[in-house]
Structure 1
């Protein structure tokens, strides 16, 4: 069994092209909780595997929902660390297909206890371009993006491009020389921050999540990184005061909460 819903998820408004319909299995209530996206290579080194598992587990225990793409490697580890009941898997295929097959048991557990979603019709087999759509949804749904390991030119870096365009904050793990060249490049260019202490980072994200629950309608709207024009239409009076006070910033034409 699967269900479908018309597009009603505010976070997806930051996508270039929002899906008209989403198919899902599981608990839609997870969408109402603070969410963090975690992505990375399909072939993580032992350090990345261990830290991704610890990080996702601690984020989950602090009340955060972990979002990823159910792929091999970092995605699967992030889902496993969070626990099926605290994770959302975005699929690159129809909701009735479990891709990749190697992760079918994991995806089945998420269907039963967490949430799987896809914009693709039942029976649709994953294609190269559908992974790109999947990645954009993963990024859009999360409050921030964590990239635990990635190579230059990889799919994870396409996710980074989406995050930058949406005004999302990006975090990476500190890596040794000759490892995870793409995330080290992001640090050099000032496009990401390093997670130097997992417990401090989790506490920061947890507090941010609690704050989002108490947001005013204006701040809640801005947390989805809308365009400046969209905010002007909906909150013409609040935006100027918020900008002057430093509550928000405009990055790449989108409004983000500082």
Structure 2
């Protein structure tokens, strides 16, 4: 599948515009049928939400496209056939990815292997050995190219198939000592970035990267992790997405094992060998088609966002509340509430949270 050049440009510009996230992007395409029409509507929608608006400058998008080409990357849009099918199932799936390598790898059975950056020598070996065995069994191994467990998992699976998801732009290597490994993954596997080229890996980008890792895979294996590590965020997201969560137990005397032990205590599956992982994930029976992958229909008067937004701003506070609760309390249709939330989000007045909850900016 290919896009008309003007529409592809408009899609990138729409996503890079202020206050446009995956959910609002999807709703805008559904409402207006294409990104060009949605861009034209943004100022009016923002005004109705209570703020002036200016979309991302065209010159910035042109510079971004040129940088992607220089880096040897390409765009992967949410409705392209080779967009990762499991990732497409989640509500917060990135509408546009930048990739290098073989995108077809993401359609094969995939398991995420994550863990501590300051991992023990034994855990690093476990990660490498597990990844190699999983790759030999036909699984693609996804991870985040971090030091420690992630890097070992990529190296173990490199010859069989691995996906590296980075928190920076596709043209930035992080950590610097993994520059060669990142290049190898781009040449032999698949490298994925959500952020525009030139973006440095800031702390706020890592949870977004983690959701992609969890979304790509049928299950997430945590090899070693402290109680508040980013690996546990990946595991929590995997559970929210309905995927398997697995952990290798460790000594209670080592703080780097506490996160894995906690996962097991909270219901994660204890695994002791690659065969345990293979057995658990062998029952994963297919990849349902996501509604997010479908081409957006042209806007009609009966569009799923409705014609008139509900007046719900007074129902929102800085405390997150479920959208379903807003629908009940407002007494209006779900479509009207969604349109009101979209207008508030574009105006920069709304925050979206996990679990379909929303709040106003403090």
TM-score range, shorter chain: 0.7 to 0.9
CA distance in 2, matches of 1:67, 1:150: 17
Deviation at 1:162, TM superposition (A): 0.7
What CA RMSD, in Å, does the superposition of the two structures yield over aligned residues?
2.2
CA displacement 1:170-208 (0-9 Å, x = unmatched): 11112112221111112122x21111233x325415744
Deviation at 1:84, TM superposition (A): 5.0
Corresponding residue for residue 244 of structure 1: none
1:6 aligns with 2:81: no
1:176 aligns with 2:247: no
- Cα contact 1:85–1:113 (8 A) shared by 2: no
Change (3 A) 1:85 1:124: farther
CA distance in 1, matches of 2:240, 2:281: 24
CA distance in 2, matches of 1:140, 1:147: 15
For residues 119-130 of structure 1, the aligned pairs below 5 Å read 119-130=194-205
* Unaligned stretches of 5+ residues in structure 1: 227-251, 254-258
CA displacement 1:33-87 (0-9 Å, x = unmatched): 1000011000111221121111000000111100000111110000000015500
* TM-score in terms of structure 1 length: 0.78
For residues 83-122 of structure 1, the aligned pairs below 5 Å read 83=158, 86-122=161-197
**Alignment: residue pair count:** 216
Change (3 A) 1:38 1:4: same
- Cα contact 2:138–2:160 (8 A) shared by 1: no
Deviation at 1:103, TM superposition (A): 0.3
* TM-score in terms of structure 2 length: 0.56
1:193 aligns with 2:269: yes
* Unaligned stretches of 5+ residues in structure 2: 1-71, 293-354, 357-362
Find the residue that maps to 2:249 and give its secondary structure: coil
Corresponding residue for residue 116 of structure 2: 41
For residues 214-225 of structure 1, the aligned pairs below 5 Å read 215=286, 220-221=287-288
Change (3 A) 1:207 1:155: closer
CA distance in 2, matches of 1:197, 1:80: 18
Find the residue that maps to 1:94 and give its secondary structure: coil
Greater fraction of residues in strand: 1
Find the residue that maps to 1:10 and give its secondary structure: coil
